[in-house]
Amino acid sequence: MTILTFEQFTELLQLLPVQRAVFAILIASVAMPIVGVFIVGLNIMSVRFAMMHVALLGIAIGLLLGLDPTLCGLVLCALAGAATAPLAGRPAGLSGPHGFLMTMAIAAALFVLSLSGVNANGAFELLWGSILATRNSDVVMIAVISLLVLGLYVWQRRSLGLLLFDREIALCSGVNVERLTLILLVVIALAVAASVRLTGALLVDSITLLPALGARNLGTSLSSCVRWAIVLAVVGNLLGFVLTLFFNQPPGPMLVLTVGGLTLLTYLKHRSP
């Protein structure tokens, strides 16, 4: 393992792709942990896997039709999020529909790729993003979706708090639960799909779920959970990125391990609900 000197490290920081990566990490670490808090609050961890596979189907359709694959993935994820919203109120929850969606999406994606004659590895590479390979268009996409997430949180903070606390209490308080759930699931789907492009399919949790899980152990309300999630995401991901550069290792695993380590520490102060 190569360890950089401080001078080499500062030289790396002068590079445009590295600066762009730091910028992308900062933007994503402020907004995406809020999505993680929504996912934890709604108890729909399965949504990540479902949306990753739906994104792959969108990419396959994009490649088949000659359209922007990332955009197709985002649109299809938004539609899939909206399609599952009517099922959110069922006692069984959304894990079943998400499992169904995941299986059908991957099967359909492979079928579409086979039809189009496109090499499947090419499609999978689009999902296997890397923070160091971030393009300007990725930064713009993550910034737009981050604004959407922050806007939703600021606009509907009270209603979201009630919905995450208890669906029926939210209903009885006059919250339009069905509309809010629909918006929430679409935003979650878009955010997961965009994060996949940034950090890679399997590492999306470093900016969404892991900080939220840690925040759930530390927070006493939606607002405090969101604050903790952002702190954990910013500190963990920036620290992970610095370690990535210093030790010349792949960024994805390093980010996840760093944020995961911080999350693990929060369990020392776990307060059972």
Site residues for other proteins, 40-69, by CB under 8 A, read 40-41, 43
Min separation Cβ 220 and other proteins, Å: 5
How many residues touch other proteins under the rule CB under 8 A: the total is: 26
Phi, psi (deg, nearest 5) at residue 218: -105, -30
- Nearest of 230, 231, 239 to residue 258 by alpha carbon: 239
Binding status of residue 164 toward other proteins by CB under 8 A: yes
Considering only 100, 111, 165, 247, the residue that binds other proteins (CB under 8 A) is: 165
Q: Are 24 and 138 in contact (CB under 8 A)?
A: yes
The region of 46-54, 121-129, 156-164, 233-241 touching other proteins under the rule CB under 8 A is 156-164
Closest approach of Cβ 159 to other proteins, in Å?
Answer: 9
Name which position in 176, 247, 264, 267 contacts other proteins (CB under 8 A): 176
174 is a contact residue toward other proteins (CB under 8 A) = yes
**Interaction between residue 141 and other proteins (CB under 8 A):** no
For 230, phi then psi, to 5°, come to -65, -45
222-261: contacts with other proteins (CB under 8 A): 222, 224-225
220 is an interface residue for other proteins by CB under 8 A: yes
Decide if residue 158 touches other proteins (CB under 8 A).
yes
Kindly report the three-state secondary structure assignment for every residue of 89-140. Answer: CCCCCCHHHHHHHHHHHHHHHHHHHHHHCCCHHHHHHHHCCCHHHCCHHHHH
Q: Which burial class, exposed, middle or buried, applies to 220 when counting CB atoms under 10 A from its CB (0-12, 13-18, 19+)?
A: exposed
Q: Other C-beta atoms within 10 Å of 268: how many? A: 7
Query: Would you tell me which residues interact with other proteins (CB under 8 A)?
Result: 40-41, 43, 158, 161-162, 164-166, 168-169, 171-177, 216, 219-222, 224-225, 273
